[in-house]
Amino acid sequence: MTDLKGKLILITGASSGIGEACATEFAKIGANLLLAARRLDRLTKLSKELEEKYKIKTKCILLDVRKYDDVKNTYNNLNQEWKKVDIILNNAGLARGFSKVYDADTNDWEEMIDTNVKGLIYVTRIFLPQMVERMEGQIINIGSTAGHEVYAYGNVYAATKFAVKAISQAIRLDVLDKGIKVTSVDPGMVITEFSKVRFSGNEERANKVYEGIEPLTAKDVADAVIFAATRPKNVNINQIILTPLQQASSTQVYRK
Ligand code: NDP
Ligand code: 8X3
């Protein structure tokens, strides 16, 4: 098992859900954390809690992954210690809306593509070269079952997650001779703020998504991430697909 004590993990979207749970699980095993998101207040609270409880070092960065120049400037302003990221966890992402292509709000498309696809490659473009130089490290991308099979009304969100799958596979080829691991962790339904964001704060609609099923928790996903991050040096976990017991695929869900 790889010991991550004292290693540095960059987590995008650490202010909520899966990102926050991953931060906690990495902290438990002694990793230091570079926590990124737009809601700095949440990051600051989390960072204080984790530093106190697990005696690790953290740094919070206010970052909108959609803005390439901001990602670049953020990196350039870090000191050497914080630039040396060992694992990039590309988790920041979202779904917006639930419509057919012919009546969707195109702003929703822009936001999903800019965040889930362009944001992920911007962060990777900026933080990966130092790993290439050191010939070690790992990229872990949070994909989705929606990146394996589309579902009705999920068109563009699914397209972004198909893109994440393609990007993970492609970067694995790019770094094949560089000693860098590339992993995609692809969950089904996870109870986080995801559906609340998708339905613009409509809690009733968000709760309906999980009606009659026991969804995955953010910690369930974080456990898969930690598994992938702690394998021996010679082992790369290419992909982990995990779903609730009551979900067989994007379209097959058994509701009690
Ligand atoms: P949450 O809404 O709970 O968390 C999303 C996180 O992404 C927040 O921390 C948010 O932070 C961050 N984020 C969104 N936009 C940006 C941005 N432009 N720049 C920086 N950070 C951003 O949802 P989840 O935890 O569920 O989502 C995490 C990932 O998991 C996403 O990629 C999602 O697609 C994926 N996923 C989720 C599933 C689910 O059912 N929940 C299933 C499969 C995959 P802030 O708003 O503070 O910037
Ligand atoms: C999130 C899972 O099925 O709600 O990626 O799209 S789903």
| pLDDT tens, position by position, 9-27 | 999 999 999 999 999 999 9
pTM of the full structure: 0.98
Is 178 designated active site? no
Of the candidates 207, 194, 209, which has an alpha carbon nearest to the alpha carbon of residue 17? Answer: 194
Is the distance from the beta carbon of residue 93 to the nearest atom of ligand 1 less than 6 Å? Answer: yes
Q: Which pLDDT does position 4 carry in this prediction? A: 98
Q: Is the CB of 143 under 6 A from ligand 2?
A: no
Atom of ligand 2 nearest to the CA of 146: 6
| Per-chain mean pLDDT for the chain | 98
Q: pLDDT tens across 165-222, in order?
A: 999 999 999 999 999 999 999 999 999 999 999 999 999 999 999 999 999 999 999 9
Please list the alpha-helical segments (H only) found in 113-188: 120-127, 129-134, 155-174
Q: State the pLDDT confidence band at 158, using cuts at 50, 70 and 90.
A: very high
Q: Are 137 and 230 in contact (CB under 8 A)?
A: no
Q: How far is CA 208 from CA 191, 192, 196, in A?
A: 11, 13, 11
Ligand nearest to the CA of 241: 1
The 10 Å Cβ neighbour count of residue 83 is 15
Catalytic pick from 7, 75, 157, 165? 157
Place of tokens 């590309």: 90
Phi, psi of 154, deg, nearest 5:
-105, 10
Q: Is the CB of 160 under 6 A from ligand 2?
A: no
Instruction: Please name which of 136, 222, 129 lies closest in space to residue 182, comparing C-alpha atoms.
Output: 136
The ligand minimizing its distance to the Cα of 36 is 1
Which residue out of 161, 181, 210, 254 is catalytically annotated?
161
pLDDT tens per residue across span 47-97: 999 999 999 999 999 999 999 999 999 999 999 999 999 999 999 999 999
Known catalytic residue at 102: no
Which single residue is written with the structure tokens 């953290």?
A: 58
Domain ranges of the chain: 8-242
Architecture of domain 8-242: 3-Layer(aba) Sandwich (3.40)
